[in-house]
Structure 1
């Protein structure tokens, strides 16, 4: 269990996190989404005791991370795969981690096999690893102590499609066994497939959170036409609340049949008409973070 309450982090005049609250619960994968610079990594660093909060609290398994007895045994963390010691072999990285946390060294072989690193690859220096191999090694290190909680920042970076599928199954299995997973990723389709809950952050504030089903259900109707201004006027004249979408078109607070009927009455040709529950995670993400996203970035 991860609990974040009214978390604020300031760097001088800049506020990286502003009154952020959320939970990541056992038995569930929580997707943590936001544009670059939104505050995801800062929040994860506070949760794992690497960055002190300016205000608010972050607890793991009911306690601040730093006060857990041997926290590395309870919480598996991967925030930056490139931070591994480049001069050590993959096996040495895991063996040292086992020694430091008091884990049976026999788990090193089991973890290497789990993440798909061969004996030959495990004997190579980390400086000679690809990004995907470093990610696998980082995941092996996070899982080494058989933790109750995983905190993973962009763990699928550098993985090929087969590796991404493997990652999805691994996290789903970990959660199914009662583990807690807090996962950030820019691969929105994968988050949509694996996450039970989603937290969306923008400009250091939580802009939406809930189960994946709830957030993707949306409301009303998504519609696009040859003249959205005229269509919006026709809908509003009939008492329908309308809002423009960052991805183009309109969201109308009514059912598709009503939108189609009013568009026909107004003589506006439609290009798209569908219920709000048909939208995907990418569309929802872009709508919620339109004011804070940098061009071309959805991380």
Structure 2
């Protein structure tokens, strides 16, 4: 289990992480989402003891990461696949991780097979690896100690569709066997497929958290609508007692279902170029809505 309680990190007058609290449970994959600069990597670094928090706490298995006896045996971490030593071979990187973890020599071959690296590839130096190969090597290293928890920052970067499918199965099986996974990613479609729970942050603060099902079903019903005469559209919706909010793509979210919205536009003689029911099961749209710039407020 991972427990984050009132975690805060300030750099001078800038607050990177602001009073964040959440729990990642065993047997579940927790998707940790937010736009660039939202504080995801800073929080993960605090969790793994690389950055001291200003206040609050981050614990794994009830202890601070730094207080765990031989942490690699309890928590598998991959925060930056590109940080591996470029002059070592893949086999040497994993052998060193195995030595730290006290794992048998056969564990190296077992993990390279698990992540789909061939014996020939493990003999190559890391500087000659593609990003996708470095991601696979990083995940293998995180698994070397047979940990109960995985903390992965953007593990799907550089993976091709087959690699993403492989990672989905790997993490799904890991959680199904009782492991705890905290996963950050910008591939929202993949997060929607694999994650059981979500934590979304923006500007260092949590904007939403809960199970995938709860968050996607909590979205208010309504329409997505657009017009060549947008100000007339805004005025028509407001005159009808509805609320209208501009989306990141320029169209509008309206709290009126399509039949009602269509009638409002017809009565006001506003030509529509888009009218459809709001997607209730789209993580990408939920993400964009919850983390869009705070300057983009409801139009009045």
* Alignment pair present for 1:170 and 2:170: yes
How far apart are residue 214 of structure 1 and its match? Answer: 2.7
How far apart are residue 117 of structure 1 and its match? Answer: 1.0
TM-score using structure 1 length: 0.91
Paired positions, count: 293
**In structure 1, how many angstroms separate the alpha carbons of the residues matched to 2:180 and 2:78?**
14
Asked whether the 8 Å contact 2:223–2:256 carries over to 1, the reply is no
**In structure 2, how many angstroms separate the alpha carbons of the residues matched to 1:4 and 1:216?**
23
Give the equivalent residue in structure 2 for 1:234: 236
How far apart are residue 120 of structure 1 and its match? Answer: 1.2
**In structure 1, how many angstroms separate the alpha carbons of the residues matched to 2:242 and 2:131?**
50
Give the equivalent residue in structure 1 for 2:284: 282
Asked whether the 8 Å contact 2:216–2:286 carries over to 1, the reply is yes
Q: How does 1:115-134 map to 2 (within 5 A)?
A: 115-134=115-134
**In structure 2, how many angstroms separate the alpha carbons of the residues matched to 1:187 and 1:146?**
26
How far apart are residue 8 of structure 1 and its match? Answer: 0.6
Q: How does 1:130-279 map to 2 (within 5 A)?
A: 130-217=130-217, 218-226=219-227, 227-278=229-280
Alpha-carbon displacement from aligned partner over 1:31-64 (angstroms, at most 9, x marks no partner): 1111211111000001111111001111112221
* Alignment pair present for 1:31 and 2:48: no
**In structure 1, how many angstroms separate the alpha carbons of the residues matched to 2:261 and 2:209?**
28
How far apart are residue 113 of structure 1 and its match? Answer: 0.5
Asked whether the 8 Å contact 2:8–2:16 carries over to 1, the reply is yes
How far apart are residue 246 of structure 1 and its match? Answer: 2.5
**In structure 1, how many angstroms separate the alpha carbons of the residues matched to 2:128 and 2:154?**
21
**Partner-residue secondary structure (3-state), 2:266:** helix
Alpha carbons of structure 1 residues 72 and 102: separation in structure 2 relative to 1, 3 Å: same
**In structure 1, how many angstroms separate the alpha carbons of the residues matched to 2:224 and 2:80?**
41
Give the equivalent residue in structure 2 for 1:41: 41
Unaligned runs of 5+ in 1: 294-299
How far apart are residue 279 of structure 1 and its match? Answer: 5.5
What CA RMSD, in Å, does the superposition of the two structures yield over aligned residues?
A: 1.9
Q: Which stretch of structure 1 is more off in the superposition, 250-259 or 45-54? A: 250-259
How far apart are residue 278 of structure 1 and its match? Answer: 3.6
**Partner-residue secondary structure (3-state), 1:219:** coil
Q: Which stretch of structure 1 is more off in the superposition, 273-282 or 129-138? A: 273-282
* Alignment pair present for 1:60 and 2:60: yes
Alpha-carbon displacement from aligned partner over 1:125-152 (angstroms, at most 9, x marks no partner): 2222221111111000111122111100
**In structure 2, how many angstroms separate the alpha carbons of the residues matched to 1:200 and 1:107?**
35
Asked whether the 8 Å contact 1:221–1:273 carries over to 2, the reply is no
Give the equivalent residue in structure 1 for 2:298: none
How far apart are residue 176 of structure 1 and its match? Answer: 1.4
Unaligned runs of 5+ in 2: 296-300
Give the equivalent residue in structure 1 for 2:5: 5
How far apart are residue 292 of structure 1 and its match? Answer: 7.0
**In structure 1, how many angstroms separate the alpha carbons of the residues matched to 2:156 and 2:97?**
22
Asked whether the 8 Å contact 1:17–1:39 carries over to 2, the reply is yes
How far apart are residue 65 of structure 1 and its match? Answer: 1.3
Asked whether the 8 Å contact 2:223–2:255 carries over to 1, the reply is no
Alpha-carbon displacement from aligned partner over 1:199-250 (angstroms, at most 9, x marks no partner): 2211111122222223333112132132343333333333323322222222
Give the equivalent residue in structure 1 for 2:110: 110
Asked whether the 8 Å contact 1:35–1:292 carries over to 2, the reply is no
